[in-house]
Amino acid sequence: MASDTHDITRDRFMLTGKLARKGYDWWWHSFTGRNANTGEERSFFVEFFACNPALGGSRPVFGQLTRNKEQGVQPSYVMVKAGCWGENACQLHRFFAWDDVEIASRVPFYVAAGDCLCCETDLIGRVDVLPEAAQAHPEWMCDSGSIAFDLHVDKRVAFNVGYGASAPLRKLGAFEMAWHAEGIKTVYSGTVVMNGETYVVDPASSWGYADKNWGSDFTSPWVWLSSCDLVSTKTGKRLEGSVFDIGGGRPVVAGVSLGRKLLGCMVYEGVSHEFNFAKPWTGSSTVFDCWETDDAVYWHVEQQTKKARLVTDVTCPKSEMLLINYESPDGAKRHNRLWNGGTGYGRLQFFEKRGDDYELVDDIRAGHVGCEYGEYDDLS
């Protein structure tokens, strides 16, 4: 199976079997719009996050409430997470009880709750959090503000990671954190209203991305990098048929850690090159490092197969990022320093094997890089 093969069955709702009682499933979207009045650019994200449906009922259950933490009560809800990056970056959360949610078990998927809808082609909803409510409810794990979104979603290029998301392993729940990226290049169109300001999301400059994750817990380290805003420094031309995506950190399969590993792909002008540790016959190998300074977060990733090599360097200013919040299905909040951004920038050096050596195909400037890095120490 080619890495760029679309498969919307992997976007379906995954919280069945044991994951219904200890599992999460989310659909992530990120994109860029422009202020309708000023022309100012702004990058946004919208995520629909589902947790522990078998434990739910008429009210959302919050794992970070003190009494729930003391009693070992697991969280259970559907959360709409939405916000923006850049100056005054924020994350806003809206929670729904499972009794008030409709999720299709069929393909294509959809999630509907109140006036919020997420499916393969549309993203509609709003989140409003008053300052006094955010302060009074730390268990919501969010900022204050308002956002409304009405968007059409067109997922153009996929990164199909293969085995981790395959049907047999899905049923076993073998991967602690599984991943499928149906739209590493996604074209968005529509509007976002953020704190009273209207932003127009234009298909030609939305720089969009869409993926999903599901499982029983989150990886550490947690790494993600992706962009379709790529320009060749060799020719000066925009690479309209190119996109890259990197994710992972420390995969755990059936309770066994596989060590520090990443999955990745580079689609260069329509031709896909995959860097996947689950396909050893390709000769795939990856080394990576992520670090913080006072002002920024940095990523350096080197990936290689028998046919191609990709060296990725990305930077994102902390002033434009969030410390994004999630709680695990068991009620623990292990990641408390998970940097998340959408305004990263960097350099890609893409090589192909020619004879005995790797030859530089292109030196690429990347903008609007979606980026994430976090790590915690108490690994079991």
- Residue 205 phi/psi, 5° resolution? -140, 30
CATH number assigned to the domain covering 8-374: 2.40.370.10
Quick one: pLDDT at residue 379? 47
Q: What is the mean pLDDT of residues 276-297?
A: 94
The whole-angstrom separation of Cα 262 and Cα 240 is: 25
Residue 170 confidence (pLDDT) above 60? no
CA pair distance 179, 175, nearest whole angstrom: 9
277 contacts 297 by C-beta, under 8 angstroms: no
CA distances from 24 to 51, 197, 214 (A): 4, 32, 5
> Average of pLDDT values for 285-291?
96
Instruction: Report yes or no: 371 and 341 within 8 Å, Cβ to Cβ.
Output: yes
Segment 127-138 mean pLDDT? 98
Task: Name the token pair of 170.
Answer: 């899905």
Per-residue pLDDT, averaged over 295-301, amounts to: 98
As to burial, measured by CB atoms within 10 angstroms (0-12 exposed, 13-18 middle, 19+ buried), residue 355 is exposed
**Residue 315 CA neighbour count, 13 Å, CB half:** 9
- CB atoms inside a 10 Å sphere around CB 378: 7
Q: What is the pLDDT of residue 174?
A: 61
The residues that bridge with 30 in the sheet, in sequence order, are: 45, 209
**Which of 286, 346, 288 has the alpha carbon at shortest distance from 317?**
346
Quick check: 273 and 282 in contact, CB under 8 A? no
Give dist(CA 223, CA 248) in Å, integer.
5
The pTM score is 0.95
d(CA 266, CA 242) in angstroms, rounded, equals: 7
Please determine, for residue 173, whether its predicted confidence score (pLDDT) is greater than 60.
no
pLDDT tens profile 197-228:
999 999 999 999 999 999 999 999 999 999 99
Rounded mean pLDDT of the chain?
94
Say yes or no to pLDDT of 172 above 90. Answer: no
Residue 316, beta-bridge partner list: 297
DSSP 52-111: -GGG--SS-B-TTSHHHHHHTPPPBEEEEEEEE-STT-EEEEEEE-GGGEEE-SSSS-EE
pLDDT in tens, 10-21: 999 999 999 999
Mean pLDDT check: name the lowest of 111-115, 124-128, 165-169, 172-176. Answer: 165-169
β-pairing, 256-257 with 229-232?
Answer: unpaired
pLDDT at 281: 92
pLDDT one-digit tens code per residue, 27-80? 999 999 999 999 999 999 999 999 999 999 999 999 999 999 999 999 999 999
Residue 219: closest CA among 349, 97, 373, 2: 373
Query: Can you read off the two tokens belonging to residue 186?
Result: 């996604």
- Mean per-residue pLDDT for 140-152? 98
Q: How many residues does this entry show for the chain?
A: 380
Residues 6 or more apart whose CB falls under 8 angstroms from that of 311 comprise: 301, 302, 303, 348, 349, 351
